[in-house]
Amino acid sequence: MKKRPVVDVSHLPTYDFGAASPMWWGTLAFIALEAAGFALAIGTYFYLAVLAQHWPIAAPAPDLAPGTAILIILLASIVPNHIVDRWARQHNLQKVRGGMVIMTIAGIVPLIVRIWEFPALHISWDQNAYGSIVWFLLSLHTSHLLTDVGDTIVLAVLMFTQKGKAGRRLSDVSDNVFYWDFVVASWVVLYLVIYWTPRM
């Protein structure tokens, strides 16, 4: 078959930010499927709550303090998160390096606070279905938190190496920002479910 050149792509860049990048779509797809998982777990929570005579079953409502603290930290982290995004898009490597360190800390602190959050539920996972589902929800979110903190640490380290100078890596930073927003947003929903449903 004869070839007829019609499009020249030689001038195109090799990376970009946001929806132009295939990785951004991959991240979005993962967010979508994880959101579906969260939605089903939350659906299970309400399904069990509707079936139960009293909700929570055989337990007081969970203590607000640790969960609320995490909520505040996570919401506050959105600000540096998006500043990092802007720096990445400006290819300002020095500032991105600092920003990634801040974001690493912003990820580790809620993980530490979470150590107090499980006991604050005042129920064990094997006592009844209420205990099972709140532990499930909290663990699900913790695993996302862990994953993204891990990702942030790896990217932060990368930024301090020679590889970090490649522009594409800044696009990865930007996708990490996107995913962190999801981790924060999912906690807002889960926080309302876990802490405020029993108080209604």
Which helix (DSSP H) or strand (DSSP E) does residue 29 occupy?
helix 22-51
111 contacts other proteins (rule: CB under 8 A): no
Residue 23 contacts residue 175 (beta carbons within 8 Å) = yes
* Cα(167)–Cα(164) distance, integer angstroms: 8
* Cα(134)–Cα(82) distance, integer angstroms: 31
Tell which positions 156-185 bind other proteins, by CB under 8 A: 158, 163, 166-170
4 contacts other proteins (rule: CB under 8 A): yes
46 contacts other proteins (rule: CB under 8 A): no
**How many CB atoms lie under 10 A from the CB of residue 109?**
16
Closest to other proteins by CB, 73 vs 189, is 189
From candidates 61, 73, 109, 129, binder to other proteins by CB under 8 A? 129
Closest to other proteins by CB, 69 vs 189, is 189
* Cα(117)–Cα(22) distance, integer angstroms: 37
From candidates 96, 133, 149, 184, binder to other proteins by CB under 8 A? 133
From candidates 104, 132, 142, 197, binder to other proteins by CB under 8 A? 132
